[in-house]
């Protein structure tokens, strides 16, 4: 009964979103650029927001992946993850390393569309039309703290529920999300766990869109500080992550190899053109 009520409310909001889009162009799929075997969409933040707005007014469920350099290296070696990323409805360029590699490979992307920024835009979008979001992931208490801070930042934002990311049985968690009536789902359990979890359950969650956002709840909750803007703008976010949490070394260790592989690909393609 309660679920019906929530769903009727949600359908009303989705209709409102749809009616706001009546003058919009039909949804066009962005070009997918190959970065060392992993497809990343050529989208600006505005394009990504438009896509998400389309997802929220559609019939769902859609999946968004945010790809950074370490993520590309992990994905290349994991066929299951690679097919999940290939099937994703939107793959955004999450790091400056991805932008640099794309430029080097002669297929430049537009700008960085990080998961942490896109998640906030989704909060803004949902608050604007009254749709709710479920927060799944991070240590116990962190998603709740993130929810409190984000509802302060985006007045009108409705959090359908929260759950930590350390559980052994998926079934009750899937059921909790489904019963919450959430339109969107943030999953912050790190790559590749979050992508595999979303892909395994997307059809049962009842959400219109789900996105994996790594350690973003730790930042939203105030437990972890995000790299300052100058570091982000100079491609040094990895250094900030490493200084704040030396255990991140395994992810950061992918970066030199990522850069070398991009350089090698560039040399090979140059030789191919010259020869
Ligand atoms: N995490 C989780 N469940 C797990 C493992 C990790 O919820 O089983 C959370 C962890 O607490 C952290 C996030 O996932 O909040 C991982 O963040 P990280 O920055 O490592 O992810 P990345 O963005 O590098 O993929």
Residue of the nearest CA to atom 17 in ligand 1? 215
Alpha carbon 25 to chain centroid, angstroms:
24
Q: Which residues surround ligand 1 with Cβ inside 6 Å?
A: 137-139, 165-166, 188-191, 193, 214-215, 217-218, 251
- Per-residue pLDDT at 22 exceeds 50: no
Give the per-residue pLDDT at 45: 98
Q: Kindly report the CA angle at 242 between 237 and 243, in degrees rounded to 5?
A: 100
Distance 212 CA to ligand 1 centre (A): 10
Residue of the nearest CA to atom 25 in ligand 1? 190
Give the per-residue pLDDT at 9: 60
Q: What average pLDDT score do residues 161-185 get? A: 98
Distance 27 CA to ligand 1 centre (A): 32
- Per-residue pLDDT at 177 exceeds 50: yes
Distance 221 CA to ligand 1 centre (A): 14
Domains with residue ranges and CATH for the chain: 2-251 (3.40.50.10700)
Nearest to 129 by CA among 165, 106, 154: 154
Residue of the nearest CA to atom 18 in ligand 1? 215
Give the per-residue pLDDT at 248: 81
Distance 239 CA to ligand 1 centre (A): 18
Residue linked to tokens 């491609």: 235
Least confident range of 26-30, 155-159, 165-169, 196-200: 26-30
The pick from 72, 114, 188 for probing ligand 1's pocket by mutation, whose C-beta has the most ligand atoms within 8 angstroms, reads 188
Q: What is this structure's pTM?
A: 0.91
Q: What average pLDDT score do residues 82-91 get? A: 98
pLDDT digits (tens, 9 = 90+) for 198-217: 999 999 999 999 999 999 99
Alpha carbon 181 to chain centroid, angstroms:
20
What's the rounded Cα separation, in Å, for the pair 266 and 106? 8
The pick from 81, 137, 168 for probing ligand 1's pocket by mutation, whose C-beta has the most ligand atoms within 8 angstroms, reads 137
pLDDT digits (tens, 9 = 90+) for 224-261: 988 898 998 888 888 888 888 887 888 888 988 999 99
Give the per-residue pLDDT at 274: 73
Distance 217 CA to ligand 1 centre (A): 9
- Per-residue pLDDT at 5 exceeds 70: no
Give the per-residue pLDDT at 26: 54
| Confidence category of residue 81, pLDDT binned at 50, 70, 90 | very high
Burial of 215 (0-12, 13-18, 19+ CB in 10 A): buried
pLDDT digits (tens, 9 = 90+) for 131-158: 999 999 999 999 999 999 999 999 999 9
Q: What average pLDDT score do residues 86-90 get? A: 98
Helices (H), the chain: 2-20, 45-56, 69-76, 79-87, 96-104, 115-129, 142-153, 170-180, 193-201, 216-220, 229-233, 237-244, 249-252, 254-274
HSE at residue 199, side-chain half, CA atoms within 13 A, is 17
Distance 266 CA to ligand 1 centre (A): 33
Q: What average pLDDT score do residues 11-31 get? A: 63
């Amino acid at each position: 009964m309660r679920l019906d009520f929530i769903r009727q409310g949600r359908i009303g909001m989705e209709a409102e979103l749809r009616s706001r889009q009546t003058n919009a162009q039909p949804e066009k799929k962005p070009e997918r650029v190959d970065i060392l075997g992993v497809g990343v969409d050529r989208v600006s933040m505005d394009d990504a927001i438009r896509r998400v707005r389309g997802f929220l007014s559609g019939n769902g469920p859609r999946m968004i992946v945010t790809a950074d350099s370490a993520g590309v290296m992990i994905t290349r070696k994991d066929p299951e993850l690679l097919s999940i990323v290939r099937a994703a409805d939107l793959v955004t360029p999450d790091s400056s390393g991805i932008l640099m590699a794309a430029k080097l490979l002669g297929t430049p992307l537009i700008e960085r569309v990080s998961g942490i920024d896109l998640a906030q835009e989704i909060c803004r979008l949902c608050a604007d039309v009254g749709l709710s979001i479920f927060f799944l992931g991070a240590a116990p208490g962190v998603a709740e703290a993130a929810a409190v801070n984000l509802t302060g930042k985006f007045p009108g934002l409705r959090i359908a529920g929260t759950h930590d990311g350390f559980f052994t049985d998926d079934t009750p968690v899937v059921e909790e999300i489904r019963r919450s009536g959430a339109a969107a789902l943030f999953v912050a359990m790190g790559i590749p766990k979050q992508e595999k979890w979303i892909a395994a359950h997307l059809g049962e969650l009842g959400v219109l869109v789900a996105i994996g956002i790594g350690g973003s709840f730790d930042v939203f909750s105030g437990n972890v500080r995000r790299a300052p803007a100058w570091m982000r703008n100079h491609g040094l976010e990895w250094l900030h992550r490493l200084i704040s949490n030396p255990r991140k070394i395994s992810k950061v260790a992918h970066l030199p190899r990522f850069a070398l592989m991009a350089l090698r690909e560039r040399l090979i393609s140059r030789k191919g053109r010259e020869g």
